Chains A and B, each alone.
Chain A
Amino acid sequence: ETGVTQSPTHLIKTRGQQVTLRCSSQSGHNTVSWYQQALGQGPQFIFQYYREEENGRGNFPPRFSGLQFPNYSSELNVNALELDDSALYLCASSLAGTDTDTQYFGPGTRLTVL
């Protein structure tokens, strides 16, 4: 069974640029959730995708957007980067429709905005 993978591991961007982060779900999972973890904080929910549709969104502006593909992999796109976007971005996959749809996390992408 393949776990959740994310790419890239680290990324450095400048303010105003755009970034795309990628996530491959654990095999058999159909739901992907994205979280932002700032230093010293717990992860904060950005949004979730289920069967290629957005299925819930946290308190993040529209410049945070996402996609889920037919193979259940996913992308997180952030436009017009700001310094406060510097954080660890975590992807989690789960199997919706079961009574134990626990989320399993990838290792994260560390984004630094200069």
Chain B
Amino acid sequence: DQQVKQNSPSLSVQEGRISILNCDYTNSMFDYFLWYKKYPAEGPTFLISISSIKDKNEDGRFTVFLNKSAKHLSLHIVPSQPGDSAVYFCAASVDSYGGSQGNLIFGKGTKLSVKP
């Protein structure tokens, strides 16, 4: 049973427009969420995270929104650039001050294509 779901395997967006990637989760114990970007032949690169005590976190062109009641988070990329084309993974964990963030549960990923 998938605890973290990314229901869109792929997304295509025009350069300069907004990209919105979605993620749903089922485990109400999750209280820390992350987005990673992955290029082919590379490991996942950390993008942005959000704690469950917040509903929004922003870093440059990237904003993550968390709706706890809906168990839903989304990543907004504005404006989208061709270099953003990659697979984006949503991940969740039960945050533990002390290093037990190890058990990250990942979604299957969404492949984003940004067209010039």
Q: Bits for A96-107, please: 1 = Cβ < 8 Å to B, else 0.
A: 110111111111
Q: Is the CB of B46 within 8 A of A102?
A: yes
* Cβ B99 vs Cβ A101 within 8 A: yes
A-B contact count (CB 8 A): 77
Partner of A90, one of B34, B41, B43, B107: B43
Which A residues between 5 and 46 are near B, CB-CB below 8 angstroms?
6, 30-31, 33, 35, 40-45
Instruction: Indicate if B103 sits at the interface (CB-CB under 8 A).
Output: yes
Cβ–Cβ contact B46 & A48, under 8 A: no
Contact of A4 with B by CB under 8 A:
yes
Size of the A side of the interface (Cβ < 8 Å), in residues, is: 33
Which residues of A have CB within 8 Å of B98?
96-97
B44 close to A90 (CB less than 8 A)? yes
**Closest 5 A-B residue pairs measured CB to CB?**
A96-B99, A42-B106, A48-B102, A105-B43, A33-B102
Seen from chain B, the residues whose Cβ lies within 8 Å of a Cβ on chain A are 4, 34, 36, 41-46, 49, 89, 91, 97-109
